[in-house]
Structures are given as structure tokens and as C-alpha cells.
């Protein structure tokens, strides 16, 4: 078995990361080796996607774990380095390097995504990936990761928890200290596994459901009664009072932070029916 590339040596051959450009390269070999293993056992590893390839330490591990890899890197200098460093894999058709912003480029028909995401745009990238319904193993700031995986009634539970959980079972599988990166970020990090699933509820319109959840959480300290009434400009409701009048009184007395995803779905279905969205 070929030895994995040394992440520190890759940085010496390429360049150090620039924190001003959200470049924090993972250099802990033990974490790098574990990350691909967090994919679900039955995940199709035929075509792995990596966003934010950096100097290629994780790319190297993904090439060992999958049949084909596509890496997206927005830094032209690093994209050129990846093509040179992995020239044999590129020539063999096992690696494709896409230079560009992951929010703008056309993504391939990948089977799973494993990435140390640029934290400044991690939310936008995550919600580009989640609707694809593919297994994801993603590195986030720890605070963001905890909010993605939070349960109702906890301080971390919010719009992010409901929205991510609409597409996948989300779990934090490893906390990663700042010392595992070069340069060190100012925050702790965590690896999140997202396993695609259908929710245990139905919604009349997915876009409306997600907007409705977002609206309610903008007033998470108020009762759902007031949150529904006060956020029609976000949810798109034409008659929020009709929703409040028709909804269960106990549910309307709750605050968004204690409302389960299934209860949000039930209320969104009612709002779709009587609220004139």
C-alpha cells in the first residue's frame, strides 16, 4: 500500500495557507486518515467530490479510498499545484481538478462528498450539497456543526438543525482542535456526517416549508402564535391570522426552539392550506 503524502511536505511544496482567504490546511495525519472512514459503510465510493482541495493532503487520502475524485479549488495557484502534484492520477483519469468557486461551478455527478470546507462559505456550500441526497462528510466550525446536529429543546437547535435534518441524518463524528491545522484557525472544528434520508413527515411544498421554518426562527424567543403573525413577509403568508386561528393552541404556545421538525411540517401544511401563501 502506498504511503500517504505528508501534509507538511505538501505545504512546503505548495504554499502556506492565508487565513485572510479562509485557507487553513489540515495537517494532522491521524485526522486526515480517519475522515474518509466516516462515510457510511454502504456509501458508493465510485466518484468522490472534494471542495477546497488546498495542498492535497485530503485529496491523497480520497484517491486511496475511492475510484475517481473531483476536487474543486478556487485558488489558481493551488489548483495548478494539485494538477502537478497528482499528475499521474490526472493522466490516469482518476482525478479531475476544477478551478473555481464551489458556489458557481457545475458540480459533477458525484456519489459522495468528503471535504474540509472553507468556513466562510460553509453554510452556502452545505445547502448546495444536501439537496443532492448524497452521503457527506464535511468539516465545519464546531459551533456550526453542533447547530446542524442539534435536537429540539437544546440551545443549539434552530433553523439550521431543521433544514439540515430535512435532507439527512446529521451527526458530529469527531471534534478537531485548532492545532490540527496550519495556519491555526481561531475556532475549534468538527467533522459532520450527513446520511441522506427521507424525513418522517410530508410537506406540501419544500421551498415554502423551509421559508416558513426560517421565518419562525427569526423570532425564536416569541411564541409560535406571534412568530407566525410577525413574519409573514419572510414566510410569504397572505393571511397569518387564519393560520393562528386554525392551529392547535398548545403548538401555538410553544417557542420555535421546542417545536419538532414534524410539528413544523404539520403547521406548514396548515399554513399552505389556509394561510394563502
Return the half-sphere exposure (C-beta side, CA atoms, 13 A cut-off) of residue 95. Answer: 27
User: Was 226 annotated as part of a binding site?
Assistant: no
Say if residue 53 carries a ligand binding annotation.
Answer: no
Is 116 flagged in the annotation as binding?
A: yes
Residue 229 CB partners (closer than 8 Å, separation 6+): 240, 241, 244
Q: In what order do the strands lie in the sheet with 189-196?
A: 95-99, 68-73, 47-51, 112-116, 136-141, 189-196, 168-176
- The answer to whether the beta carbons of residues 132 and 34 sit under 8 Å apart is no
The helix or strand, by DSSP H or E, that contains position 50, with its residue range, turns out to be strand 47-51
Cα→Cα distances 99→43, 60, 70, 229, Å: 26, 18, 11, 46
The answer to whether the annotation marks 101 as part of a ligand binding site is: yes
85 in Cβ contact with 10 (< 8 Å): yes
Which residues are within 8 A (CB) of 42 and not within 5 positions of it... i.e. 6 or more apart? none
- For the chain, first and last CA: distance in Å? 58
Q: Give CA–CA dist 15/134, Å, rounded.
A: 32
* 24 annotated ligand binder: yes
Say whether 26 counts as a known binding-site residue.
yes
CA distances from 18 to 8, 31, 58 (A): 15, 21, 18
What residues form the annotated binding site for S-adenosyl-L-methionine? 24, 26, 52, 73, 101, 116
What residues form the annotated binding site? 24, 26, 52, 73, 101, 116
Amino acid at each position: 500500500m502506498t504511503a500517504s503524502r505528508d501534509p507538511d511536505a505538501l505545504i512546503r511544496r505548495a504554499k502556506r495557507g492565508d487565513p485572510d482567504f479562509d485557507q487553513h490546511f489540515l495537517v494532522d495525519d491521524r485526522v486526515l486518515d480517519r475522515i474518509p472512514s466516516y462515510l457510511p459503510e454502504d456509501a458508493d465510493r465510485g466518484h468522490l467530490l472534494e471542495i477546497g482541495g488546498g495542498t492535497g493532503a485530503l485529496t491523497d487520502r480520497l484517491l486511496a479510498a475511492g475510484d475517481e475524485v473531483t476536487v474543486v479549488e478556487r485558488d489558481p495557484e493551488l489548483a495548478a499545484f494539485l494538477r502537478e502534484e497528482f499528475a499521474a492520477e490526472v493522466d490516469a483519469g482518476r482525478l479531475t481538478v476544477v478551478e473555481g468557486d464551489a458556489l458557481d461551478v457545475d458540480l459533477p455527478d458525484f456519489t459522495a462528498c468528503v471535504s474540509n470546507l472553507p468556513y466562510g462559505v460553509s453554510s452556502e456550500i452545505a445547502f448546495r450539497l444536501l439537496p443532492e441526497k448524497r452521503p457527506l462528510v464535511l468539516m465545519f466550525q464546531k459551533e456550526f456543526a453542533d447547530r446542524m446536529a442539534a435536537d429540539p429543546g437544546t440551545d443549539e437547535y434552530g433553523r439550521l438543525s431543521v433544514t439540515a435534518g430535512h435532507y439527512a441524518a446529521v451527526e458530529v463524528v469527531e471534534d478537531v482542535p485548532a492545532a490540527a491545522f496550519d495556519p491555526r484557525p481561531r475556532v475549534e472544528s468538527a467533522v459532520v456526517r450527513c446520511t441522506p434520508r427521507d424525513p418522517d413527515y410530508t410537506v406540501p411544498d419544500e421551498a415554502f416549508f423551509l421559508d416558513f421554518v426560517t421565518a419562525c426562527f427569526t423570532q425564536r424567543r416569541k411564541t409560535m402564535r406571534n412568530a407566525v403573525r410577525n413574519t409573514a413577509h419572510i414566510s410569504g403568508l397572505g393571511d397569518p391570522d387564519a393560520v393562528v386561528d386554525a392551529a392547535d393552541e398548545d403548538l401555538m404556545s410553544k417557542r420555535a426552539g421546542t417545536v419538532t421538525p414534524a410539528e413544523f411540517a404539520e403547521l406548514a401544511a396548515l399554513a399552505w392550506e389556509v394561510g394563502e401563501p
